[in-house]
C-alpha cells in the first residue's frame, strides 16, 4: 500500500526523517533483551523478525546488531523514513514498503515474531491485527514497545519533576484528532476481538492471547536544554508547528526547563526521565476472524 494510506498526522509529522533519526532516543540493551526474551526469540539463531512501521530503523538497528543473526524484514510506508533506513544498509535486513493492513511483500506465516516500536497506536484496529496474524507463523509472537518521555506520558502517570510536568502540559494543550500512546486507546482493539453484535458475527476465538504481557523499565538521560527541545520537536504534532505558534511553544518549553528543580550538571545538562513500556502476546493458530451478516 502506498504512503498515501498513512494517517495524515504521521505523514506530515514525520516528514523530516533525518531530524527524527538524530534526536529520537534508541532503546536500552536491557529493554530490548527483555522484550525479545518475552517474545521467545532471545538467543534463537536465525529467527525471523518482522519490524512493522520500522521508521528510520531505531529498533531495526538493534535487531541487526544482535548475535542471533536474525533475518529481518522492515516494513515502512513513509517514503522519507524508509529511505533513511535503507541508507543504513543494515546486516540481514530487507526494507520494504507496506502498511499494517497490507504487507504484500511478506508471505503467510513468515515471521517468528512481529515487533512494533513506537507506532502501534497509529493503527490499532482489527484490520491490522488480521494482517499481523497472517504474516506470523502459528504460535508466533507480537511485541509492542514505546519509549515514553515523562512529558509525553499518560495523564495518570505523574511526571518525575515539576519542569517535566510543565512540558507535559504543553503536549496535552495541543488538540489532536489521532490517538497517541499517551491516550491509552490502543489496548482496546485486543478486547474488540471478542465483540459481536446482531449485524457482526465473529468466531469465539481471538487472534491473539489475552491478557497482554506488560513490562515497564524506568530510565534517565542527561541532555542540554537545546537537546531536550530538539527531542521535544520530534513529537509529530509539535514538529508541524510553524511561525509564531512554534516560537510560543519553544518559549514555554525553555521557561519550563528554567524551573528551580531543573538542576543542571557542570556541562549544563538536565536529567530527562521516562520509561520504556513493552507488551507482548501470542498469535492463536487458526483462521483470522471473519465478519458477516
pLDDT along the chain (293 residues), means of 10: 43 56 84 98 98 96 98 96 95 98 98 97 96 97 97 96 97 86 96 69 73 97 95 86 94 96 94 97 75 37
Neighbours of 58 (CB within 10 A): 19
Packed helices 243-257 and 225-232: angle between N→C axes, nearest 10 degrees: 130
Closest by CA to 153, choosing from 100, 218, 214, is 218
196-230 b/e (C-beta count within 10 Å ≥ 16 → b):
eeeeeebeeebbbbeeebeeebebebebebebbbe
d(CA 238, CA 138): 40
pLDDT tens digits for range 187-233 = 999 998 877 555 554 555 689 999 999 999 999 999 999 999 999 99
Closest by CA to 132, choosing from 223, 43, 193, 42, is 193
- Enclosing H/E stretch for 115: strand 111-117
The predicted pLDDT at position 1 comes to 34
The predicted pLDDT at position 171 comes to 94
Amino acid at each position: 500500500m502506498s504512503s498515501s494510506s498513512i494517517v495524515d498526522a504521521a505523514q506530515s509529522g514525520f516528514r523530516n526523517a533525518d531530524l527524527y533519526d538524530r534526536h529520537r532516543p534508541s532503546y536500552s540493551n536491557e529493554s530490548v533483551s527483555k522484550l525479545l526474551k518475552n517474545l521467545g526469540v532471545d538467543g534463537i539463531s536465525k529467527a525471523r523478525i518482522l519490524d512493522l512501521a520500522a521508521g528510520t530503523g531505531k529498533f531495526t538497528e538493534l535487531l541487526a546488531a544482535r548475535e542471533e543473526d536474525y533475518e529481518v524484514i522492515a516494513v515502512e510506508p513513509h517514503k522519507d523514513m524508509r529511505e533513511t533506513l535503507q541508507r543504513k544498509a543494515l546486516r540481514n535486513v530487507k526494507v520494504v514498503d507496506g502498511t499494517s493492513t497490507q504487507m504484500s511483500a511478506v508471505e503467510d506465516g513468515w515471521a517468528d515474531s512481529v515487533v512494533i516500536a513506537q507506532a502501534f497506536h497509529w493503527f490499532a484496529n482489527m484490520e491490522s491485527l488480521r494482517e499481523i496474524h497472517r504474516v506470523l507463523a502459528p504460535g508466533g509472537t507480537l511485541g509492542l514497545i514505546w519509549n515514553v518521555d515523562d512529558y509525553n506520558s499518560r495523564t495518570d502517570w505523574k511526571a518525575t519533576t515539576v519542569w517535566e510536568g510543565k512540558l507535559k502540559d504543553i503536549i496535552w494543550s495541543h488538540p489532536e484528532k489521532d490517538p497517541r500512546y499517551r491516550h491509552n486507546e490502543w489496548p482496546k482493539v485486543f478486547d474488540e476481538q471478542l465483540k459481536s453484535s446482531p449485524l457482526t458475527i465473529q468466531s469465539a476465538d481471538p487472534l491473539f492471547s489475552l491478557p497482554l504481557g506488560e513490562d515497564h523499565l524506568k530510565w534517565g538521560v542527561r541532555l542540554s536544554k537545546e537537546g531536550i527541545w530538539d527531542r521535544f520537536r520530534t513529537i509529530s504534532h509539535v514538529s508541524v508547528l510553524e511561525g509564531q505558534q512554534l516560537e510560543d511553544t519553544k518559549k514555554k518549553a525553555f521557561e519550563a526547563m528554567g524551573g528551580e528543580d531543573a538542576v543542571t550538571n557542570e556541562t549544563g545538562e538536565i536529567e530527562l526521565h521516562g520509561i520504556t513500556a513493552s507488551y507482548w502476546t501470542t498469535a492463536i493458530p487458526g483462521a483470522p476472524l471473519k465478519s458477516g451478516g
